[in-house]
A and B are shown apart, each in its own frame.
Chain A
C-alpha cells in the first residue's frame, strides 16, 4: 500500500502541480497575469459582491400589472375579432381575471363564442415531456355574456414570456450604464437576479430597472379638470404630472388618439438650442412616423401629452404637423435624467412592471475591508493550525502541513478553474476546511500510534493505520458533504459561496489526506528506512 507505482505518484504530483498552476493567477498582479504566456492559466477567482462591492437586486414580475396589460390587450383582441366577424357587441370591458363582452343579438351568441374561442391558443406546459396541453383562456358563456379569463397555465406562460423579454431589455439598459461584467439571470418562474459589481450608488441602477418605460403620445381631452373633484369625462382618463403630482391631466383613451413608444427607432440625449436644457431626441420607425404624422396633422393647435408609465412628462401644443419621423421631449430634465430616459426608451419597454423584492448592496470600502480581514484570518488560522500540528506530531505534523498546503492550492485552483465566486462566507469555508482537513491526518496518525502500541513494525503500523482509517475518513467526510450539498441547494448568494468552498474543501481533503500525505510518507520511508515511527 505504501508502494506507489511511478505512474500513480506522477498522477498525484501532477494533480497538485496543476492545482498550483490554476491557483497561481490569484497571487499575481493584473499586469503580471496579462504578461503570462498563453498556456498558463490566467483566470483568478471571481470575488463575490460582498468582497468587491456592488449591488444584488432581485426583481419580480408584478403579476397584477402584467394582468392589467394583458387584460387591455385582450379587450383589443376581442374588439378586433368581433368586428372582423361582423358581430355587434356591447359592454366590452375588463374584468379582474380577463375581459367580458355582451352580444345583444341572441342568435349571434353561438357564433361569437366560436370566434372568441379562436383567441385561446393551446399551451404546451411540457412538464416531464408529457406535452400536457392547456388552454390559454377559460371561456364561459352566461346568457348573452361571454367572459374570458386567463387560465393558471396561460398566466404562467405569460409570466414566463414576460421574464424572458425583460431579461433582454434589462440587459440593454444595464449595458448602457457601462459597468463591468453585470450578470442578469432568471431565477425561478417570475424573477430576475441582477448583479452589478463595483457600483457606488445603486439608486441609478434601481431607477433604470424600476421603469416600465411605456412611452405614449396621447391627445388631451378638450375639457381639462377645473379644481379638485371634477368627474372625468367619458373617453378620458386622469393622469398626474411626473414632476408635480398635484397637477392632473385628462387624457384621451381612444387608440386612434395614441401613438405608442414601441414604434421608436432611437432616442438620444441632446440640448435645447434656445434654453440649453437637456432634452431627449427620438426617431420613429416608418409605422410610428406615419401614425404620428396623421395624429399631428388632424390636431394642429391642440395639446397632447407625452406620457411615460402613466405619468405626464409634458403637454406641449401641436404647432404644426410633424411628419419627419423625429421629435424631442423636454420636461425640466437634469442631464442624468435625460440620459436615463433615452437609455430606457432605446432599450424598449418592459412587458410589465418589475418590483424589487430583495436588494443587497455592499460599498467598496466594506468589500476591501472584508478581503483584508478574510486574508488575515486565513493566514493566522493557517499558522495556528501549522504550529499545532507540528508540535503535536513532529515530522508527521510537517507532512500534514504540506498536505494542507496542497489542499489549499487545490481549493483555490478548483475555484479559479470553475470560475466560481469567492464570498466572505466562502473564505470562512476555507478557514474551516483548514481546521477540519487535518482531521483526516489526525485519524491516520492516531491510528498508526495505536498500531505501533499494538507491537507492529513501523512499516506495518503505517500501512495498517492508513488502511483502517480510510473507511472512517470517508464516512466522516461524506456526512459533512451531505450538509454542504443541502446548503448549496437551498442557499442563496453568500451562503452558497460557503457551501461551494466547503464542498470543494471536503473533496480536496479526502484526496490530499489519502494520496499526498501517503506519498510523502512513502518517500520518507524509502529515504530514511526508519526503525521507529516518530509519533
Chain B
C-alpha cells in the first residue's frame, strides 16, 4: 500500500515573509484578549467564584426551563442561571455564593431540593464554599505562572536564552488567546480549563521545541547561511511532522468533543483551539522571534546530547 502524503514533501514556503503580518495580527489579538479579560471578563465557574451548581434530569420529558427558572428565582437565593446541558431533559442550575459563610451554601441546596421536589434526578451537585474557591483561583493562576517559569528554565538549560524567550512568548500568546476566546464566547471558565491551558502550554511547547531543535542542528551544519533563510528551511523541514502530529491530536480530540459527553466539552473545546493556536504560534511567533533575537545567537554553540551524530552527516 502506498502511503498518502497529507503534507507535500520539500515544501519551500517563505514563512519569514508571512511572519511579519502574522506577527502583527497576533500582537493585536493578544492585546484584544487582554482588553477583553479586563473589560468583559471571564465567566468563572463555581470552582473560582464559589456557589452551587446542580445538574438535574427531569423524569417527565423535556425540561420546562422557563418554569424552572421562575421557580428557582422565587427562592430568594440571589442570582441564578439555568441552561440546557447537552440534552433537552438535562438542566444545569447555578446559584451564586450565599452570604453567611459555609453553612449558608448547604442551606441553599436544601431549599432548591425542596422546591424542585422528587420529579427530578439529581445527577450532580457541586458546592464550592467562598474559602475554597479563592484558593482554587489562586492555585490555578499560580500553576500557569509556575509552568512558564519551569519551562523557561528548562529551555534555557537545553538551548540558549534567546530560545527561552521565544518559547515563553509563544506560550503567553497561546494562553492569552485561549483566555480571550473564553471571554468573547463567555464560556464557563473552571478548573478543567486550567488543566486545558497547562496541556496547551505543554503541547505548544512540544511543537516549538521540535522546530528549535532542527534550527539548532542547522545552525551547526550551515555556518554561513542567512539567518532568516535558515529559519525558513527549518520550518519547512519540520512542517510535515508539525502538521501530522496536530492532525492526529485533533482526530483524538474531536472524538472526545463529539462523544465524550457534556462534562468534558469545555475542556476539549479549549484543547482543540489550543492545538490550532499552538501549531500556528510555533511557526509564526516562536521562529520569527528567533530571527529578531538572532544577532545574539552564538553560532558555535556548545555541543548538546544529540551532537555526536553530527560528525558523520553527509552534507548535501
Same assembly = yes
Interface string of B295-316 (1 = CB under 8 A from A): 0000000001110010000101
Check if B136 is an interface residue, CB within 8 A of chain A: yes
Q: How many residues of B contact A (CB 8 A)?
A: 86
Q: A58, A357, A453, A481 — which one has the most chain B CB atoms within 10 A of its CB?
A: A357
Check if A333 is an interface residue, CB within 8 A of chain B: no
* Residues of A with C-beta under 8 A to B254: 384
Interface string of A466-499 (1 = CB under 8 A from B): 0110111001111111111011011110110011
> B4 touching A435 by the CB < 8 A rule?
no
Check if B115 is an interface residue, CB within 8 A of chain A: no
Q: Out of B6, B126, B206, which one reaches A479, CB within 8 Å?
A: B206
Check if A101 is an interface residue, CB within 8 A of chain B: no
Main secondary structure, interface of B, reads: helix
Cβ distance B88 to chain A, nearest Cβ, rounded Å: 15
Question: Contacts A365-B57, A431-B253, A482-B147: A377 and B259 contacting too (C-beta < 8 A)?
Answer: yes
The residue in chain A whose Cβ has the minimal distance to the Cβ of B211 is: A472
Q: How many residues of A contact B (CB 8 A)?
A: 87
**Assembly CA distance A206 to B103 (angstroms):** 11
> A425 touching B198 by the CB < 8 A rule?
no
> A482 touching B260 by the CB < 8 A rule?
no
**Assembly CA distance A472 to B217 (angstroms):** 11
Check if A362 is an interface residue, CB within 8 A of chain B: yes
The residue in chain B whose Cβ has the minimal distance to the Cβ of A444 is: B241
> A377 touching B255 by the CB < 8 A rule?
yes
Question: Contacts A60-B131, A358-B132: A467 and B309 contacting too (C-beta < 8 A)?
Answer: yes
Check if A237 is an interface residue, CB within 8 A of chain B: no
Check if B22 is an interface residue, CB within 8 A of chain A: no
* Residues of A with C-beta under 8 A to B1: 390, 394-395
**Assembly CA distance A450 to B309 (angstroms):** 15
Check if B184 is an interface residue, CB within 8 A of chain A: no
* Residues of B with C-beta under 8 A to A384: 251-252, 254-255
The residue in chain A whose Cβ has the minimal distance to the Cβ of B4 is: A391
**Assembly CA distance A449 to B201 (angstroms):** 29
> B195 touching A436 by the CB < 8 A rule?
no
Q: A393, A428, A442, A535 — which one has the most chain B CB atoms within 10 A of its CB?
A: A428
In the complex, chain A residues 493-511 whose Cβ is within 8 Å of any chain B Cβ:
494-495, 498-499, 502
> B151 touching A482 by the CB < 8 A rule?
yes
Q: Out of B158, B238, B264, which one reaches A475, CB within 8 Å?
A: B158
Question: Contacts A60-B131, A391-B4, A479-B205: A361 and B126 contacting too (C-beta < 8 A)?
Answer: yes
Check if B143 is an interface residue, CB within 8 A of chain A: yes
Among B72-80, B117-125, B285-293, the one that faces the other chain is: B117-125
Check if B225 is an interface residue, CB within 8 A of chain A: no
Main secondary structure, interface of A, reads: helix
Check if B112 is an interface residue, CB within 8 A of chain A: no
* Residues of B with C-beta under 8 A to A428: 256, 260, 264, 267-268
Q: Out of A361, A366, A480, A499, which one reaches B206, CB within 8 Å?
A: A480
Interface string of A357-397 (1 = CB under 8 A from B): 11111110110011001101110110011001111111111
In the complex, chain B residues 128-161 whose Cβ is within 8 Å of any chain A Cβ:
128-129, 131-132, 136, 139-140, 142-143, 146-147, 150-151, 154-155, 158
* Residues of B with C-beta under 8 A to A482: 147, 150-151, 154, 202
Question: Contacts A359-B126, A439-B245: A425 and B132 contacting too (C-beta < 8 A)?
Answer: no
* Residues of B with C-beta under 8 A to A464: 309
* Residues of A with C-beta under 8 A to B125: 202, 359-361
* Residues of B with C-beta under 8 A to A396: 3
In the complex, chain B residues 205-224 whose Cβ is within 8 Å of any chain A Cβ:
205-206, 209-210, 213-214, 217
> B6 touching A443 by the CB < 8 A rule?
no
The residue in chain A whose Cβ has the minimal distance to the Cβ of B55 is: A366
> A486 touching B147 by the CB < 8 A rule?
yes
Q: Out of B3, B127, B195, B237, which one reaches A534, CB within 8 Å?
A: B3
Check if B244 is an interface residue, CB within 8 A of chain A: yes
Interface pairs A-B: 4 shortest CB-CB: A435-B252, A373-B261, A435-B249, A471-B306
Can you identify 26 A-B contacts, CB atoms within 8 angstroms? Answer: A359-B127, A361-B122, A363-B124, A365-B57, A373-B259, A373-B260, A373-B264, A374-B261, A388-B247, A392-B5, A432-B252, A432-B253, A435-B253, A439-B241, A453-B9, A472-B209, A472-B306, A475-B158, A475-B213, A476-B205, A479-B154, A480-B202, A483-B198, A483-B199, A484-B202, A486-B198
Given contact pairs A392-B3, A480-B202, a sample of 18 additional A-B residue pairs in the complex whose CB atoms are under 8 Å apart: A355-B129, A356-B105, A356-B127, A369-B261, A381-B256, A392-B6, A394-B1, A428-B260, A434-B252, A435-B251, A436-B245, A438-B248, A454-B314, A480-B206, A482-B147, A484-B202, A494-B191, A498-B195
Interface residues of B (CB under 8 A from A): 1-6, 9-10, 55, 57, 101-103, 105-106, 110, 121-129, 131-132, 136, 139-140, 142-143, 146-147, 150-151, 154-155, 158, 191-192, 194-195, 198-199, 201-203, 205-206, 209-210, 213-214, 217, 237-238, 240-241, 244-245, 247-256, 258-261, 263-264, 267-268, 271, 304-306, 309, 314, 316
